[in-house]
A = this chain, B = another copy of it.
Amino acid sequence: MVGRRSLKADFCPSARSLDVIGDWWSLLIVRDAFDGLARFGEFQKSLGIAKNILSDRLRTLVSRGILEVVPAGEGAVRQEYRLTEMGRDLFPVMVALRQWGERHLFEADEPRSSLVERDTGLSVRLDIRTQDGRAIGPGETVILKVPEPD
């Protein structure tokens, strides 16, 4: 096969998501975008990514509707990369990754950045519930597959 397999046509939503944002850099760029970064140079400095790769990733993220290009300031020539609505919707993904990393990838006493509510400083958590509001874990769930066409 040439190149990497695409999961665009997969019926599993997780697989399609990974097809779009599952590469090494994209979510890091999105994280920085959530953090307020918007300019090419800012991403490049923050991530230490090669410029050609950053260029490619930004283009791809824009083409997929996760970032959009907007003029930087009023009537400015330079442009910025901003999260679209679709991009901002990745927030739960970022929070879930953060939460997992905090729990498993840090020593107890190790310094780390943390995500809190702006107004109160309360830490943010994420949980999984049924439609009617009961919290549940992986053991109580099941995936309903779509029937394979012969």
The closest CB in chain B to the CB of A88 belongs to B138
A95 within 8 A of B: yes
> What's the minimum C-beta distance from A98 to chain B, rounded to whole angstroms?
4
Size of interface on A: residues with Cβ below 8 Å to B:
73
Binding site of A, secondary structure by majority: helix, strand, loop or mixed? mixed
- Which residues of B sit under 8 angstroms from A28, Cβ to Cβ? 7, 15, 18, 22
Are A116 and B128 CB-contacts (below 8 A) given A13-B98, A16-B105?
Answer: no
Are A123 and B116 CB-contacts (below 8 A) given A100-B17, A100-B92, A100-B93?
Answer: no
Contacting pair A118 B141 (CB below 8 A):
yes
> What's the minimum C-beta distance from A37 to chain B, rounded to whole angstroms?
12
Contacting pair A113 B4 (CB below 8 A):
no
Contacting pair A126 B124 (CB below 8 A):
no
A130 within 8 A of B: yes
A140 within 8 A of B: yes
The residues of A with any CB-CB pair to B shorter than 8 Å are 4-5, 7, 11-18, 20, 22-24, 27-28, 31, 34-35, 48, 65, 86, 88-106, 111-120, 122-132, 136-138, 140-146
A sample of 12 cross-chain residue pairs with beta-carbon separation below 8 angstroms, ordered by A number, consists of: A12-B98, A13-B113, A88-B138, A92-B99, A92-B127, A93-B93, A111-B146, A113-B144, A114-B143, A116-B141, A124-B130, A124-B136
